[in-house]
Amino acid sequence: MPELPEVETTVRGLARYLEGERIARITLNRPDLRHPFPPGLVQALTGAIVTKLGRRAKYGLIHTDRSHTMIFHLGMSGRWRIEPEVLEKHDHLVLETGTGHVLALNDARRFGLVDLVDTALLDSFPAFAAMGPEPLGDEFDWRHLDAAFAGRFAPVKVLLLDQRIVAGLGNIYVCEAIHRAGIRPDRRSGWVSRKALERLVLAIKEVLTESIAAGGSTIRDYAQPNGELGYFAASWRVYGREGGACLCGGTVQRFIQGGRSSFWCPKCQK
């Protein structure tokens, strides 16, 4: 599933073609993805000017001058295709701008979604209402984690994947961040020291920033809007590297935690 860096990369790619543009036409080539397309989507956005693009957690946001924001989630395999020469079977939503740009939301597995909300009510959108702070924002610091972890027995990794604590973190980047911070994935959250929390926050921000700069991590079907593949996977230190050598000289191991694979190094993660 595309994670925060992949969505951020997508949003930045789309912004070059959509910001300041008028939406001349919207074509829906099927009635739904994971859920039905919102009623009135075509009518509400046809003729609207795109004022800004943004992101909340793993959701992309297309803001317009009509006080409407189109929200999209890429699901398991979704991606936007820019200026496709030929539309494909799984190009389920197509935007055309007044200057002739064509952007197609392609989703073979249809686990993605599209919604339309009043921009003023964006924070109360059900998926956003209970979310924690953005990990790249100033509100996310060691004090926030200290308060969220206080007295908790749940493992550090499990709580970092809880969107109510921090928005948008996924399995890959949590594995990488806690490795850089030198913390075991199964360490009890309430037992993590201030210094370790400071290292953890810094590691999370560094890993996400580096991945965005690299265009994300290509897994299965993910690609940037221009068709290029993200190459941050080449920088993974532990994720997907079971049995490989850690930078410290240890050996990367894997175990199942909360239904997901945790990759870590017993030598440098304590």
Catalytic positions, please? Answer: 2-3, 58, 260
Tokens of 214: 């690299």
- Considering only CA atoms, which of 76, 49, 46 is closest in space to residue 65? 49
H/E element, 54:
strand 50-56
194 alpha carbon, distance to own chain's centre: 27
Sign of the torsion formed by the C-alpha atoms of 171, 158, 212 and 49: positive
- DSSP 8-class letter at 158: H
H/E element, 72:
strand 68-73
Alpha-carbon distance 197 to 193, whole Å? 6
Task: Please state the φ and ψ torsions of residue 208, each to the nearest 5 degrees.
Answer: -65, -45
If DSSP codes are grouped into helix, strand and coil, which group holds residue 94?
Answer: strand
Alpha-carbon distance 230 to 213, whole Å? 9
Tokens of 9: 């990369």
- Could you tell me if 241 and 253 are in contact, meaning their C-beta atoms sit under 8 angstroms apart? no
Alpha-carbon distance 105 to 80, whole Å? 5
Residue 263, Cβ density class (10 Å: 0-12 exposed, 13-18 middle, ≥19 buried): buried
Alpha-carbon distance 252 to 229, whole Å? 26
